[in-house]
A and B are shown apart, each in its own frame.
Chain A
Amino acid sequence: MIVLVLAFALGITLGLLANLSVPAVLLTYVGVAVLAALDSCMGGIRASLERTFDDKTFIFGFVSNTLMAGFIVFVGDRVGVRELYLAAVVAFGVRLFDNLGAIRRLFFERMGWE
């Protein structure tokens, strides 16, 4: 758990140090991609708590979710339905909170707080 928190902190530090900012055109893409990646991570933590974690599934899911999110935004842009990215946002948002709830439940179970 500590390792994961440190990893997240490391990512933020790297981002701050890199002095890299997403160009305005790609903001929606990266935004949705971030959401997808976050959802994947939550899913991974949940799976690890449920002892069903599989690293191949996680990595594949992480990459495919992120790419798919970007693709949906791209398609929406091209087709003229810019708001299509909202579909990805809603989907990943719902999943995110779903995973978060499961993690909380599992964590409490593990701690015997239930």
Chain B
Amino acid sequence: MRLKAPLPSKRTLEVIRDESIRALKASERAVEAQFHGARLVASLALGLVLVGFLLVAQWKGNVSRSGDLEAQSNQELAIIIQEMTGQNDALRMEVLRLEDRVRDADVQGKSTGAALNRAAKEVGELKVVAGLVDVVGPGIALRISDADRVLLPQDFVSIVHELRAGGAEVIAVNGRRLGPHSGFSGGDGVIKIDGMSVGPDYAVEAIGDPATLRQALEMPGGLKAMMSAYDGVTLSVSEIEEIKVRSVVPRTGLAGRPVRNR
């Protein structure tokens, strides 16, 4: 084969070859760089996918483990047991302390209740003695008939004293309750209780132990025997199972006042 065109010089050929080689290398590098970049991203992405996956799996496993005693080492279990023992001790102390408080409160409540009961009973008794309440109870009735009106107020004072000595708690004459301020007055055959005349027939009622009261009145040489000796005076004592005596209106405007303790 013959070449019609004149051959390029050797120098020109070398230049062309070098240019081609350079271009090829640049292209190869570009391809390489592209490929390299792709592989970089791909491998890193793969790694990160794996990391993410494992992270979540681990997370879930760890969350589900909380409270799983089997997964704990002996050392960890020992620590847990120690902590729980400590907590138990503390709770036990707390229980004991609270039980103590309950007991204290109980005792206090009981004693308070008892004191209140005692106080209420005392108040009740004092009211009975003071004549502030209606009273019902066993006792005696002493009937006196003084046709000639020979009895004096002192005789009634004697009767009251005698009854009180016999344990009378409440005394009434003709339905008039004798309170702490009651007194007998009068004269010339007229007997007045707290200023109101009564008689000539009298009914003295006393609440107390009937047998003792009767004995107090009927003992030999006692009141009944003495008064029966008066002209026209007759007495009769009868035991009664249930006497009811009304209250008196308490006096107000007292001159004295209670002395306060302390």
Where the two chains meet, the residues of A that have a C-beta atom closer than 8 Å to any C-beta of B are: 3-4, 6-16, 18, 20-27, 30-31, 33-34, 37-38, 40-41, 44-45, 48, 53, 55, 58-59, 62, 82
Q: Are B51 and A41 touching (Cβ within 8 A)?
A: yes
20 CB < 8 A contacts A-B? A7-B44, A8-B49, A8-B51, A10-B49, A11-B52, A11-B55, A12-B55, A14-B52, A21-B61, A21-B64, A22-B60, A24-B65, A33-B54, A34-B55, A37-B50, A40-B47, A48-B44, A53-B40, A55-B43, A62-B43
User: Which one, B67-75, B152-160, B170-178, B254-262, is touching chain A?
Assistant: B67-75
Q: Are B47 and A58 touching (Cβ within 8 A)?
A: yes
Name the CB-closest residue of A to B72.
Answer: A24
Which residues does chain B contribute within 8 Å of A10, judged by CB atoms?
49, 52
Which residues does chain B contribute within 8 Å of A25, judged by CB atoms?
71
Does any Cβ of A come within 8 Å of B56's Cβ?
A: yes
The answer to whether residues A4 and B53 also contact, given A21-B60, A27-B61 and a CB cut-off of 8 A, is no
Whole-angstrom distance between the Cβ of B40 and the nearest chain A Cβ:
5
Q: Is the interface of B mostly helix, strand, loop or mixed?
A: helix
Whole-angstrom distance between the Cβ of B61 and the nearest chain A Cβ:
3
Q: Select which of A4, A27, A34, A59 is within 8 A of B45 by beta carbon.
A: A4
Q: Are B62 and A44 touching (Cβ within 8 A)?
A: no
Q: Select which of B36, B54, B56, B68 is within 8 A of A24 by beta carbon.
A: B68
The answer to whether residues A22 and B45 also contact, given A11-B53, A55-B39, A82-B73 and a CB cut-off of 8 A, is no
State in angstroms the CA–CA spacing of A8 and B71 once bound together. Answer: 29
Q: Are B52 and A8 touching (Cβ within 8 A)?
A: yes
Q: Are B52 and A58 touching (Cβ within 8 A)?
A: no
Interface residues of B in 119-170 (CB under 8 A from A): none
Of residues A31, A33, A55, which shows the largest number of chain B Cβ atoms within 10 Å of its Cβ?
A55
Which residues does chain B contribute within 8 Å of A82, judged by CB atoms?
73
